[in-house]
Amino acid sequence: MKQKILLYLTIAGWLIPADTRSAPASGLSEPIQIIRAVGSEGRGNDEATRVWKQLAGADASQLIEILSALDGANDFAANWLRSAVDAIAARETAAHRALSLADLGKFLLDTRHEPRARRLVFELIARADATAAEKLLPGMLNDPSLELRHDAVQKVIDQAAQLFEAGNKPGATLLYQQSLAFARDVDQVDLVAKKLKDLGQPVDLPKHFGFLTQWKVIGPFDNAGAKNFDTAFPPENKIDLAAEYDGKSGKVRWQDFTTKHNYGMVDMNQPCGKLKGVLSYAYTEFFSDKAQPVELRLGGKNSWKVWLNGKFLFGRDEYHRNAEIDQYRMPATLQGGRNTILVKVCQNEQTEDWTVEWEFQLRVTDSLGTPIFSNPDATRQTALNR
Amino acid sequence: MNRIVIFLAAIACTVAPLQASDWRQFRGPLSNGVSDETALPISFDASKSIAWKVNLPGRGLSSPIIVGGRVFVTCSSGPKQQRLHVICLNAADGSQRWERQFWATGRTMCHEKTSVAAPTPASDGERVFAIFSSNDIVCLDLDGNLVWVRGLGRDYPNASNSLGMSSSLVTADGVVIAQVENDSESFSAGLDALTGVNRWKLDRPRMANWTSPVLLKTSDGKQLAILQSGKGISAVEPATGKTVWEYGDGASTVPSSTPDGARLFVPSHGITVLEPGASGEAPKQLWRSAQLRPGTPSATILGQKVFALNDGGVLTCGDATSGQRLWQLRLKGPFSSTPVGAGAYLYCVNEKGLAQVVDTFKPEGEIISELDLGDTILSTPSISGGAIYFRSDKQLWKVGKS
């Protein structure tokens, strides 16, 4: 009988939508732990399903605990946790109960918290007090949350446009320059660069983005039928800049190549000729002041592979679909001093006029997209530090 | 015996019977774009026909689906469309029941014409399965409780298309079927509807593919999942992914196949109609017509007629039994969305947001009514409860019975 009552209570619990149910405050450490344990290929989903309603039904006073659990959570767990936050916030809104802005504000202003969680909190605050949220934005120009930073930068861009419309070109120039310093999204950088160019203040875009522009290149090697993506030609086994190899149509050797492209495109058609069914390699060295985590960010519409210090990072076997800056983000660790970067870039045999490109662009950044520049003095400095 | 009872009870609990007005997946209950409803509006009036419209928080080409009087729609927002939305509205008045957001775990890059919320979700009547171009899939129950999440673009990091993915989901036999087919890490997968884990995963042709799977009922009452690619068709068992038969004469990678009873209308060399035999038997080709050539929209079968709409707006009507071309009608294009229909009428909406009702019983077909929704629409409409649902990047309209 007791079991039957429990069963009925459980079923009744299932029937009540999460948005209308509020559980008494209880320990969330176990459900949070279970949810943070979810992993790839659906691992842990069954357990997470079981406890998610416990989180979504938590008291509003426990919201910060759930938000804090996003710190360091993997991306799968993050989605489980944020949807619980959504459910709690919606339930409280429906019940006309205000969330604690003091708690939310404290969480938002602590930039050690997960950037996306802070953005979520910002939106919760904005729903309750749009004016306060608006006033917080200017302080977020250098925020670790890309979305908060984007909105703060946009505010400055809008103000610059207003000054320009009012005929205040020096003021507009200053604000555009300020926004450029903090912008990380390419659309904003492009817009501001265009405005500054119109104002007589052209931006050195390759430098601003930190594209790697100085390369050694070698090729062409054969890629007939686009079949040699996984074939290791000599540069993949050893970098010998004095070596000469058999290429697709004769001997090939390393040659210097510097790109002057605004977006750092390394166009293999220039050193190798407009060829089809070929591949080539580009090599450069990057000097880092210290060992540090970075991202190698590559854009391009040809198949490619990248090695850092001889270690394969990632590759993509796709031709002529689309390209954009930072299309592929590869987390990596630089060693202090000299690092080697090798890129394999392949061209297929499509004949349409939009398949001429045989190129890539690459830069080294932090996780926000702030460029990290090579420092040739780093080798000497690293040696001294030893 | 007890085990059998429990098993049957479990099945009864996991799949809700289809309600007459449900439109649970891309192109409707049978993936053919057809509703058996009889009270749909055939004459539009801008001031009276719109039951309600709501603003959406993000972009999307996905069709809304309707389950038990609730409308589910997906959107994507943010500077890089990395915010994924699943929204549930009351069909009666458009009021929001709930919204859940997720962060994309896979790449969100896509062509500017499409968006990350391009594929249409599916439902088994108890749960909603929503997929995005980032290859994130989330499963929620109808009340918005999260059941599971998967990030197929994270699990399989080369599974993406730089132009965007658009293949919608279907669900059958306790499995959610996703075609994640592209030039690189190309596969289709059957995910457990209750947990999201892989029940099966098949390597697929390495070529970009924007088509959606459909379900085909065989003569012995089973269902097959039809996976289309540039190479042709693979018919697989939904529960196991086991290939039952294949058709290898090529097929389009944009418009999808259309089932009609036991026949399958494949966009191959125009349209090729296949009829599978008994289990495991290769399908018989009933007819092929190069004169019926769908563009981006998939073919629609209405009664004994098959309709192919090209991107420019030429609607070609053919005899569904013989493939003979019957008539052509120029609509006001261009079109990306697939026509849907009921009875004698086709509902076609062009990219400029002009909805057009075609009376297919007229000898040469005829546009009998238009409704200008005033926004770009690339999404296929849905039909439910005496109304047609249209969505753009900004809004969702219910047109018809309020």
- Please tell me the predicted confidence (pLDDT) of residue A23: 45
Contacts of A275 (CB under 8 A, 6+ apart): A220, A248, A269, A347, A358
Q: Where are the domains of chain B?
A: 2-400
Rounded average pLDDT over B74-79: 96
Nearest to A116 among B99, B103, B109 (CB): B103
Cβ–Cβ under 8 Å, residues A52 and A84: yes
User: Tens digits of per-residue pLDDT, B228-265?
Assistant: 999 999 999 999 999 999 999 999 999 999 999 989 99
- Round to whole Å and give the CA distance between B120 and B128: 11
Q: Name B369's bridge partners.
A: B357
Amino acid symbol at B11: I
> Are A314 and B138 an interchain contact pair (Cβ–Cβ within 8 Å)?
no
B102-154: pLDDT as tens digits: 999 999 999 999 999 999 999 999 999 999 999 999 999 999 999 999 999 99
Does A136 fall in a domain?
A: no
CB contact under 8 A, A321 and B144: no
E-state strands within chain A: 214-222, 244-247, 250-253, 255-258, 266-267, 278-288, 292-299, 304-308, 311-316, 328-334, 337-347, 359-365
Pair A221, A370 in one domain: yes
At A41, the amino acid letter reads: E
HSE value, Cβ hemisphere, 13 Å, CA-based, for B46 = 8
Whether the per-residue pLDDT at B9 is higher than 60: the answer is: no
Domain of A166, CATH number, reads 1.20.58
Classify residue A80: in a domain, yes or no. Answer: yes
Q: Is residue A114 one of the residues assigned to a domain?
A: yes
Does A37 fall in a domain?
yes
pLDDT digits (tens, 9 = 90+) for A70-91: 999 999 999 999 999 999 999 9
The per-residue pLDDT for B47 is 86
Residue B205 pLDDT level (bands cut at 50, 70, 90)? very high
Q: Which of A128, A160, A185 is the last residue of a domain?
A: A128
Question: Cβ of A318 and B162 within 8 Å?
Answer: yes
Q: Taking 80 as the threshold, does the pLDDT of residue B182 lie above it?
A: yes
Mean pLDDT of chain A: 92
Rounded Cα–Cα distance for residues B348 and B314 (Å): 11
Neighbours of B53 (CB within 10 A): 17
**Structure-derived torsion over alpha carbons of residues A263, A269, A274, A278, reported in degrees to the nearest 10:** -110
DSSP 3-state assignment of B10? Answer: helix
Q: Over 60: is that where the pLDDT of A272 sits?
A: yes
Yes or no: say if A250 and A272 are a contact pair by the CB < 8 Å rule: no
Instruction: Check pLDDT > 80 for residue A220.
Output: yes
Tell me the nearest-neighbour CA distance from A251 into chain B, angstroms.
31
Residue B279: band (very low, low, confident or very high) from pLDDT cuts 50, 70, 90: low
Parent domain of A24: 2-128
Task: Give the tens place of pLDDT for each residue, B302-356.
Answer: 999 999 999 999 999 999 999 999 999 999 999 999 999 999 999 999 999 999 9
Structure-block tokens of residue A213: 């522009």
Give DSSP secondary structure letters for B64-100.
PEEETTEEEEEEEESTTS-EEEEEEEETTT--EEEEE
For residue A71, give both structure tokens. 């710190």
* Co-location of A240 and A99 in the same domain: no
Structure tokens at B392: 């753009």
Please give the average per-residue pLDDT across A20-38, as a whole number: 78
Same domain assignment for residues A15 and A123: yes
CB A278 within 8 A of CB A347: yes
Residue % of chain B over a pLDDT of 70? 94
The answer to whether residues A226 and A355 belong to one domain is yes
What is the Cα B6 distance to its own chain's centre?
33
Q: Are residues A350 and A259 in the same domain?
A: yes
Mean pLDDT of the region A321-331: 96
pLDDT confidence tier of residue A381, bands split at 50, 70 and 90:
low
How many Å apart are CA B316 and CA B193, to the nearest integer?
38
Confidence (pLDDT) at B219: 79
This model of the complex carries an ipTM of 0.92
Contact assignment for A45 to B101 by CB distance below 8 Å:
no
Count of domains observed in chain A? 3
pLDDT at A26: 62
Q: CATH number for the domain including A306?
A: 2.60.120
Q: For B387, phi and psi rounded to 5 degrees? A: -140, 160
C-alpha–C-alpha distance, residues A248 and A271, integer Å: 14
Specify whether A274 is located in the same domain as A353: yes
Report pLDDT digits (tens) over A169-200. 999 999 999 999 999 999 999 999 999 999 99
Position A227 confidence tier, pLDDT thresholds 50, 70, 90: very high
Looking at residue A184, what is its pLDDT? Answer: 95
DSSP tally for chain B: helices H, then strands E: 2, 33
Binding-site residues on chain B for chain A (CB distance < 8 A):
78-80, 97-103, 105, 107, 109-111, 136, 138, 143-151, 154-155, 157-158, 161-163, 182-184, 191-192, 194-198, 206, 208
CB B365 within 8 A of CB B5: no
Q: Are residues A230 and A375 in the same domain?
A: yes
Q: Concatenate the DSSP letters of all residues of B322-387 into one string.
A: T--EEEEEE-S----SPPEEETTEEEEE-TTSEEEEEETTSTT-EEEEEEE--S---SPPEEETTE
**B352-381, pLDDT tens digit by residue?**
999 999 999 999 999 999 999 999 999 999
pLDDT by residue (tens digit) across A113-159? 999 999 999 999 999 999 999 999 999 999 999 999 999 999 999 99
For testing contact with chain B, the best of A15, A16, A47, A49 (most B CBs within 10 A): A49
Distance from CA of B375 to the nearest CA of A (A): 24
Contact list in A for residue B206 (CB cut-off 8 A) is 317
List the single residue in B with minimal CA-CA distance to A42: B197
Superfamily of domain B2-400: YVTN repeat-like/Quinoprotein amine dehydrogenase (2.130.10.10)
pLDDT of A382: 56
Residue B280: what pLDDT? 67
Query: Considering the domain boundaries, does residue A281 fall inside one?
Result: yes
**Residue A137 covered by a domain:** no
Distance CA A78, CA B196 (A): 17
